[in-house]
């Protein structure tokens, strides 16, 4: 069922279910971003060149020293001078909605462009199992309550940034006869996730890919 699948590849429900609210979709923001219609990738907007002092000031404002995260983010911008927490989180929010909705809709093409190979294989397997049972999913992405960077690292030529995301979704899974088998079309559920995104600094392509997911315990 959809939430069991989401627990295994996206995260877990918190039990803080809420009645439906007027849904707000970050897709409105995504339409205005420089994302190719066919490529379905998340590209951060181009920024004006800034000096080192301004870059480090942005890091200090987000994660004041002597926090460990401050040092990690300083390593990130040393490897990727265009990185800023604000712009990264904007892109991560957009990617999160696109991935969650693509998973619900069985949109493998979008997922393949946003996920690493290993993560894509896990998502595709869950979709295949769902489809083999003849189930269909109806989802509404209500919004993201909070998104925070919790870890960052530079591994050789790869920059990795981990984000804790709290989102609200309405999801319901029906079998081939239209019977509800999971979720609730009248309930907003809160989902907590920890996602890690990666970008290869050797590549001029500014896009990030999801390389790991875990439930926020």
pLDDT at 39: 47
Report the range of poorest mean pLDDT among 36-40, 109-113, 131-135, 171-175.
Answer: 36-40
> Each residue of 9-63: pLDDT tens digit?
555 544 554 554 443 444 444 444 444 445 455 554 455 555 678 889 999 999 9
Question: What does the domain layout of the chain look like in residue ranges?
Answer: 2-215
Q: Is 7 strand, coil or helix? A: helix
DSSP assignment of 165-209 equals EEEEEEEEEE-TTS-EEEE-TT-BEEEEEEEEEEEETTSS----E
For the chain, counts of helices (H) and of strands (E): 7, 6
Q: What average pLDDT does range 136-163 have in this prediction? A: 94
CATH, domain range 2-215: 3.10.450.240
Q: Check if the beta carbon of residue 11 is closer than 8 Å to that of residue 4.
A: no
User: Hey, what are 30's tokens?
Assistant: 């995504």
Instruction: Find out whether 174 and 138 touch, Cβ atoms under 8 Å.
Output: yes
Mean pLDDT confidence for 144-162? 95
The Cα–Cα gap between 68 and 83 comes to: 18
């Amino acid at each position: 069922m959809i939430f069991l699948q989401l627990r295994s590849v996206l995260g877990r429900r918190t039990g803080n279910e809420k009645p439906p609210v007027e849904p707000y979709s970050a897709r409105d923001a995504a339409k205005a971003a420089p994302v190719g219609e066919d490529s379905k990738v998340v590209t951060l907007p181009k920024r004006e060149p800034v000096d080192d002092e301004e870059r480090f000031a942005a890091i200090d404002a987000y994660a004041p020293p002597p926090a460990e995260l401050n040092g990690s983010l300083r390593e990130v911008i040393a490897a990727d001078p265009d990185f800023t927490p604000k712009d990264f989180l904007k892109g991560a929010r957009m990617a999160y909605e696109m991935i969650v909705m693509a998973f619900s809709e069985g949109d493998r093409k979008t997922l393949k462009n946003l996920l690493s190979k290993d993560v894509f294989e896990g998502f595709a397997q869950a979709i295949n199992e769902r489809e083999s049972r003849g189930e269909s999913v109806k989802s509404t992405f209500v919004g993201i309550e909070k998104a925070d960077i919790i870890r960052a690292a530079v591994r050789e030529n790869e920059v990795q940034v981990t984000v804790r995301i709290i989102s609200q979704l309405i999801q319901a899974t029906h079998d081939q006869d239209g019977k509800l088998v999971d979720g609730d079309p009248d309930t907003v559920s809160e989902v907590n996730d920890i996602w890690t995104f990666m970008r290869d600094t050797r590549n001029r392509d500014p896009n990030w890919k999801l390389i790991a997911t875990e439930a926020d315990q």
